[in-house]
């Protein structure tokens, strides 16, 4: 009888342990799911930040290229005006 009670206690303990494990696993599954979700969202934000940073860098490069092109145009105009002025002075 003692052996029977011991085996009953063992199975009850095993069942409680399994029940606790199922509850723990459920909680862990939920926690893991939330961690994975948060990680996924963080990766999306990082991707968005990277894309935004790349876009902003491209915009900066476009602005620099436009300013450089404008400066070159102004320089060509100034050189042309200078040549015309020298030609006019030489003709006097």
CA distances from 35 to 22, 28, 31, 39, 47 (A): 19, 10, 6, 6, 18
> What is the distance between the alpha carbons of residues 1 and 11, in angstroms, rounded to a whole number?
15
* 10, pLDDT greater than 70: no
* 20, pLDDT greater than 80: no
CA distances from 78 to 5, 19, 65, 71 (A): 106, 87, 20, 10
Q: Give the residue-averaged pLDDT of 3-10.
A: 47
More confident position, 14 or 67: 67
pLDDT of residue 28: 64
> What is the distance between the alpha carbons of residues 18 and 5, in angstroms, rounded to a whole number?
19
The domain limits of the chain are 1-92
pLDDT in tens, 24-79: 555 567 788 888 888 888 888 888 888 888 889 999 999 999 999 999 999 999 99
């Amino acid at each position: 009888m003692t052996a029977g009670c011991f085996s009953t206690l063992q199975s009850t303990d095993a069942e409680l342990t399994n029940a606790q494990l199922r509850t723990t696993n459920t909680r862990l599954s939920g926690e893991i799911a939330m961690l994975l979700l948060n990680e996924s969202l963080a990766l999306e934000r990082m991707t968005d930040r990277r894309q935004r940073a790349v876009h902003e860098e491209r915009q900066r490069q476009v602005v620099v290229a436009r300013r450089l092109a404008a400066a070159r145009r102004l320089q060509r105009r100034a050189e042309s005006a200078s040549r015309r002025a020298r030609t006019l002075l030489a003709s006097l």
